[in-house]
Structure 1
Amino acid sequence: MGGVEDQIDQWRGFVRRRGAISGADVEEMEDHLREQIADLEAGGLDGEEAFLVAVRRMGNLDEVSREFAREHSDRLWKQLVLVPEADAAGPGRWREPGVLLAFALGAGVAVKLLFAAVDGEFEQIRNLPFVVLPFLAGWFAWKRRTPWGVCAAAAALAAVPFLAVNLYPFQEAPGPFPSPGMTAVLAFTHAPVLLWLLAGVLHTGGHWRSHDRRMDFVRFTGELAMYLVLLQLGALVLLGLTAGVLSLVGVDLEPVLEDWLLPFGLPGALLVAAWLVEAKKSVVENIAPVLTRVFTPLALVMLVADLVVLLVNGPLTAVDRDLLILMDAVLVLVLFLLLYSVSARDPLAPPGVFDRIQLALVGAALAVDTVALTAMLGRIAEFGFTANKTAALGLNLVLLVHLAWSARLLAGFVRGGRPFAAVERWQTAYLPVYALWAAVVVLVFPPVFGFA
């Protein structure tokens, strides 16, 4: 049954990408498909034969989408408006935007209270994710109707890094000016990763073990980044024009910007972007494949250039530390691109040219990661372990495993020996490893390295 279930998963993912078919209708179609398979198996066919015959009997899925669009034309409008249609005009149609506005205002108030109660820029920055992301996670929980037990467990887990970041006796870095030590910087930069993945549990409605739900969260993350950038760019243009106009009449916008617009605008933009992703989901999914096909070849060229720079820069032990840090940032960017590309791809489509380009991208990333690891090990052998070097080494090892297995699965798919579903499942199954590594950096590194 494992093979049949994998094929049904692929079929379900393909149907769900058809914007004119709602989730409830997909479930109804899947029930019908399973009944057909059961009847055919009772007639003597094996599982895979029964699946193929059942799908054929259900007809061409594009035709199914067009039939649904004709019979339920209002669904097409729901893709193009911000507020979902209600059965009748009334307060119900504004319920979701109202709840989201309440969460956004709550996040703004929390940021204002943080800035008023906590002194020191570093202390404020390191606590910012802990006062903003809970409101986004709360909206996830409300929208997905996440069980209270799951919400309580996620909150309890999120409290652990919050206490560590605020109660650990971090030391300041040596120098003429006070600045946080390396373990403090590592803790507050890795804590948001852990918080975001915990918020993902609520985004899945508590069904984190579901491959489809995890992939939806991966897709949501990429689309959220797109919308957030667009909102911020638009806000910068608007604020710049407003400040220019007000300055001509002697009005200074800076106090209002610092005291009100930034504390409420930044978390508000995050929640509004999240709402837009959910409201215009099927429209954005049409943009995603275009973006991945544009940036994947460019990222491949960038990685090859980076690899050449690393190899011709002299002995690997002499590679500059800042260059290695930038290489890690490039590898993380490639990982995001890989995840987003996989989430946007039609799992039933046969392998094509773009899949080979993506395989080359992963191979180039593996080569860069291997060279960077060699350079890091050389520096550690020469200068010893530090918190920063160990964190970079661990991240590269985590990326190495992720990329290596992804390359293996992609190569099998390109050769026709594996379904694309195996590539998808690996991406989402590996996400908890990043949460575990972030937890180690936040909780274990500071005491191990003396909070320096």
Structure 2
Amino acid sequence: MNVNNRVLEQLHNPRELEQMFRADPEAFRQSFAHAWEHNPDSQVLAVWNERLHYKEPEAAKKATLFQRNFVSMGILAILAGICTRLILFFANRGDITMMNIAFGVLPFIAAYFAVNNGANKRMIYTLASIFALAIVLLNLLPQKETDSIVLAYLHLPIFLWVIVGLAYTGNEYRIGRARLAYLKFNGEFAILYACMAISGMLLTGITMRLFELVDLDISEFYFTNIVAFGAAALSVVAAYLVSKNLKLAKNIAPYIARIFSPLVLVTLAAYLVTVAWVGKSPFSDRDFLLSFNGILLGVLAVTIFSITERGTDERKNITDYVNAALIALALIIDSVALSAIVFRLSSYGVTANRLAVLGINVLIWANLIWIMSAYVRMLRNQTGPSTVQDAVTKYLPIYGLWAAFVAVAFPLMF
């Protein structure tokens, strides 16, 4: 039986037709042409004909171009590049802290989302006020590398990242689906930005070499101006491309999640066994405790990335068991870290660093318990994947509030 007959044979089997199309689109198109020629009255084939040959009217294409805010993206990308270059100029002079670099990128990405999502005036005023207050707060802090100031520097960008999420979700910030989309955006943004950055590095290498051939050293000028400008502008461009459903990032992200999750699980299990074997203890070694917490954050990030890339309509699969195992190991790590932090607090007293690490570990521990509970129920077929995703998305504002508390209160407390 030839392929042409297969299309006709599966005429009333939509799932099989879809599988044939996905398996080999070009062969399906050729087969379809024969089937459509001999069955012009078929409603099923009429739908497929529109799907395979639909073309937007020229006027609609032009309208779509402006609806996608291409012009606003370009303007914001240029402004981000200029602002970043100015911040670097004043930071290198010692007038402001280098941490202001966050304001060369994040406000412009937030502005793009606010425009793109049609945020209402209240949302726009809220976003503008928060960023303005954050700029004032950061630059009121003394430029001293005390523990509390460094903690403020580290936590303020986290808070601003959550605020960018507020801009991304727009008027739907209360809806879990919108928060999940923002988390997915971050994974896809990282993949796309990395790909574009690699291309930028290749361009930089070629440019440096070309000018070297004519005995001109432009490295200082190029890196100070072009690279800094481009890196900031590229972030807005990447945000635009991801938000417009660029297939490169969206197609590769789920596969990266599925590949890296089991690799991280095996590596982490081997690491924990090795730590127990050599007798390394986070109770007595401060640096090891910090690295332990770094591993915890990394595992949490990988797991959340894998959860967000999972479709809500997907059936239960091996990835879910891998993620559940990762969460269980992360709980073990966090419990050990919490015990070590409490031990150090009781033995050596309260400091800004210890209190900050204690706070974030308590928050992560509670979040992991919630996610693990949701996973257990899902694996027992008591709930669906959305329960696990809710455990991630509903907790997101709590991290933002903690980051804001550390950035504002710790410099005053310590």
TM-score (norm 2): 0.82
Tell me the equivalent position of 1:115.
Answer: 88
Instruction: Determine the structure 2 residue equivalent to 1:195.
Output: 160
- Counterpart Cα distance in 2 of 1:66 and 1:296: 41
Alpha-carbon distance between aligned partners in 1 of 2:402 and 2:45, rounded to the nearest angstrom: 46
**Alignment partner of 1:205: what SS?**
helix
State the alpha-carbon separation in 2 of the partners of residues 396 and 432 from structure 1: 16
Post-superposition Cα deviations, 1:155-191, rounded to whole Å, max 9, x if no partner, equal 2223333222211345x3xxxxxxx222221111111
Distance in 2, Cα, partners of 1:233 & 1:406: 35
Contact 2:90 / 2:96 at 8 angstroms: preserved in 1?
no
The corresponding residue for 1:144 is: 117
How far did 1:198 drift? 0.7
Using the alignment, how far apart are the partners of 2:391 and 2:209 within structure 1? 50
CA shift, 1:112, in A, is: 2.5
Map 1:168-179; keep pairs closer than 5 Å: 168-169=141-142, 172=144
Letter in 2 for 1:129: A
Matching residue of 1:100: 73
What is the rounded CA distance, in whole Å, between the counterparts of 1:261 and 1:70 in structure 2?
48
What's the CA shift string for 1:214-256, capped at 9, x where partnerless? 1111110111011111111221122123212322321112132
Instruction: Report if aligned partners of 1:147, 1:206 keep a CA contact under 8 Å in 2.
Output: yes
Partner of 1:132: 105
Q: Does structure 2 conserve the Cα–Cα contact (< 8 Å) formed by 1:316 and 1:378?
A: no
Tell me, in whole angstroms, the C-alpha distance in 1 between the residues paired with 2:157 and 2:76. 19
Superposed CA deviations along residues 68-121 of structure 1, whole A, max 9, x for unmatched, are 76534478x99xxxxxx9635658636732221110111111122223444556
Counterpart of 1:71 (choices 42, 50, 53) is 50
Change (3 A) 1:92 1:220: closer
Kindly report which structure 2 residues correspond to 1:288-299, keeping only aligned pairs within 5 A, or say none.
288-299=253-264
The answer to whether the 8 A contact 1:126-1:188 is kept is yes
Q: Distance in 2 between matches of 1:145 and 1:415?
A: 41
> 287, 291, 303: which one pairs with 2:252?
287
Alignment check: 8 A CA contact 1:317 1:379 kept: no
Greater shift in the superposed pair: 316-325 or 151-160? 316-325
The letter of the residue matching 2:300 is: L
Query: 2: CA distance between counterparts of 1:86 and 1:274?
Result: 26
CA distance in 2, matches of 1:297, 1:317: 26
Mapped to 2, the partners of 1:236 and 1:294 lie a distance apart of 26
In the TM superposition, what are the counterparts of 1:26-45 in structure 2 within 5 Å? none
1:401 aligns with 2:374: no
Does the CA-based 8 Å contact 2:193-2:238 persist in structure 1? yes
CA contact (8 A) 2:106 2:161 kept: yes
Tell me which residue corresponds to 1:156.
129
408-417 vs 124-133, which moves further: 124-133
Distance 1:116 1:66, change over 3 A: farther
Pair 1:68–1:342, CA change in 2 (3 A): farther
Does the aligned pair in 2 maintain the 1:409–1:423 contact within 8 Å? yes
Cα deviation digits, residues 313-345 of structure 1 (max 9, x gap): 547355432222222222222222222222221
2:342 equivalent to 1:380: no
CA deviations over 1:380-422 (Å, ceiling 9, x no partner):
2222222112211211111111111111110111111222111
1:152 deviates by 0.8
Q: Tell me how far apart the structure 2 counterparts of residues 313 and 163 of structure 1 sit (CA, whole Å).
A: 48
CA distance in 1, matches of 2:361, 2:211: 49
- How does 1:240-251 map onto structure 2 within 5 Å? 240-251=205-216
Task: Tell me the TM-score normalized by structure 1.
Answer: 0.76
What percent identity do the matched residue pairs reach?
30
Q: Is the 8 A contact 1:194 1:438 kept in 2?
A: yes
1:414 to 373, 379, 386: 379
In structure 2, the partner of 1:350 is: 315
Taking structure 1 as reference, are residues 341 and 86 closer, same or farther at Cα in structure 2, changes over 3 Å only? farther
Deviations 1:250-286 (A, max 9, x none): 1112132233213311111111111221233455333
Residue 392 of structure 1 is aligned with which of 320, 340, 357? 357
When structure 1 is superposed on structure 2, of 421-430 and 250-259 the one drifting more is 250-259
Per-residue CA deviation, residues 409-441 of structure 1 (Å, 9 max, x unaligned), is 101111112221111111100000100110111
Deviates more, 1:402-411 or 1:321-330: 321-330
User: Cα RMSD over matched residues?
Assistant: 2.7
With over 3 angstroms needed to count, the CA separation of the structure-2 counterparts of 1:223 and 1:382, relative to structure 1, is same
Long gaps (5+) in structure 2: 1-17, 19-43
CA distance in 2, matches of 1:112, 1:358: 41
Aligned 8 A contact 2:152 2:408 in 1: yes
Q: How many residues align?
A: 372
Distance (Å, rounded) in 2 between the aligned partners of 1:393 and 1:421: 30
- For the 8 Å contact 2:104–2:232, the answer to whether it is kept is no
User: Compared with structure 1, are the counterparts of its residues 183 and 93 closer, same or farther at alpha carbon in structure 2 (3 Å cutoff)?
Assistant: same
- The answer to whether the 8 Å contact 1:285/1:344 transfers is no
Match of 1:433 among 391, 398, 404: 398
The CA distance in 2 between the partners of 1:372 and 1:165, in whole Å, is 30
Range with greater deviation from structure 2 (340-349 or 265-274): 340-349
When residues 326 and 73 of structure 1 are mapped into structure 2, their CA distance, relative to the original with a 3 A threshold, is: farther
